[in-house]
Amino acid sequence: MGRSLTGLEAQFGRYVFLKKLAEGGMAEIFLAQRRSFGGFGRFVVIKRLLPEHRGQLVYERLFLEEARIVASLKHPNVVNTYDLGKFDDAYFMVMEYIHGVSGAELLTNAARAEGYVEYGAAVTICAQIAKALDFGYRGVDFAHDALGIVHHDVSPHNLQVGYDGSVKLLDYGVATQIGHDAPKGRRGKYAYMTPEVIAKKSADNRSDLFSLAVILYEFTVGRRLFKAKTPKETMTRIESGRVPNPSKLNQEYPAALEAFIMKALSTDPDKRYQTGLSFAEALIDAARKSNLVTGSAALAGYMRSLFYTEIEGRRDELVQLSARLDDSSDTTWTSSHNLIGTGDFDAVSDETESQIAAPAGRETIELNEIAHLTDILKPTHQAQLPTINRLESPPLNALGSRIETVNYLPKGVNDTDTDWTASGDASGQPSGQLAVKLLAGLVLVLGMTLIWALQR
């Protein structure tokens, strides 16, 4: 075995870490590459349980529950999950890499450039996410049983929009499924919660669709709808049901789109769209009546126009990372470790040991002395890289003997809802405009005071 790895040493056997992308309430996200024989390489995203949560049953149970749920979701608008494993007491999932941005990044750039997301693009994104939610709730598994999955955290942060016009829903970390026990507690980000969730009533697919309607409102208006200074104030706004008509903020706002949004944001679940499919169909119909151009091709064109500089920079970074790995002369292959349960999430079942997947392969990769890669990583990411040399996946039923009932969600599970723009909220003056007005007023007062003093 070669010398210990340094710098960009981070690897889970066949997966080589490249950089840290984000950190949430329960897990951290890394960009990585899947390496194999014959020069095979594929960019992936690895989601790993945070160090402070490892060994804590409540967090491990939630993580494995997410893995079980996403295993049943095979839909073009849901991020694919390829692998599940455990190393160094940390569970991890390997997911599809989408070359694009999150909905939050899209909102930020659009708000700065034009004030809001182009209507046709916003409709395309939300209609496709609605179809993903519909499949999760009304779709069936191989046994023809309804999936009954409620996401509970539909927010801009959990939408991924590809530069090619693809749209994906991700992060089922706090999702629940009909027929499966789940810890109690409010789930999701406060600004996208529903009145029934705040009141601690049962939530179903219509709650997810309400959250999606909040996103559509913020996309097309360019302001936060319910977000306030504190969670309590935010929840009060949601419960009040007061939603400013978009046309009062923008006189050119399409009437059909406004009618759709106002219905979708009803505080009464029975008055909203009842399924994701009906939501998507009504939204597309509103776009047609408003003469909006929708579809993946139009969305791709919009993304290219909005992110033309970022696209080139990100592409160059990926090419550079991949090329440096390909040039490494210290890549060796061994067969000393099993990779248990690759791609087979039956391995997380707690019901019977017979469902443990057989080893899917004995392929393990070592990449030695590739510290030179750190010169193309941002300094802020270098200290956050893990120090892992190999993947050794013990049978994933090891948790089964330690299962304890989890009655309530632990604190900090949900990601923090950071502001995506400084443009203010729909209930008041945009913060940027307000600052300008205050400054102008101050200048006026000072000017009048100076004139008065000179006249004396």
**What is residue 158's DSSP assignment?**
G
> Which residue is listed with tokens 């969600």?
409
Detail the DSSP E strand segments found in 154-230.
Answer: 159-162, 167-169, 176-177
Strand, coil or helix: what is 349? Answer: coil
CB 423 within 8 A of CB 110: no
Angstrom distances, CA of residue 29 to CA of 14, 86, 175, 421: 17, 15, 18, 23
Q: Is the dihedral of CA 28, 47, 206, 115 positive or negative?
A: positive
Residue pair 203/195 in contact (Cβ under 8 Å)? The answer is no
d(CA 36, CA 52): 31
Nearest to 283 by CA among 260, 263, 303: 260
Lookup: tokens for 59 = 């967090």
Give CA–CA dist 64/33, Å, rounded.
23
In the block, tokens 């290219």 appear at: 304
Q: Choosing from 83, 134, 153, 415, which is the catalytic residue?
A: 153
Q: How do the residues of the chain divide into helix, strand and coil, expressed in percent and rounded to 5?
A: 45, 15, 40
Q: How many Å from the N-terminal Cα to the C-terminal Cα in the chain?
A: 89
What distance in Å separates the CA atoms of residue 296 and residue 155, rounded to the nearest whole number?
Answer: 20
Residues linked to residue 43 through DSSP beta bridges, in sequence order: 33
**Exposed/middle/buried for 144, CB within 10 Å: 0-12, 13-18, 19+?**
exposed
Active site residue 141: no
CA angle in degrees (0–180, nearest 5) for 262-268-273: 60
| CB 100 within 8 Å of CB 315 | no
State the Cα–Cα distance between residues 415 and 193, nearest whole angstrom: 13
For the chain, the maximum distance between any two Cα atoms, rounded to a whole number of angstroms, is 96
Active site residue ranges: 153
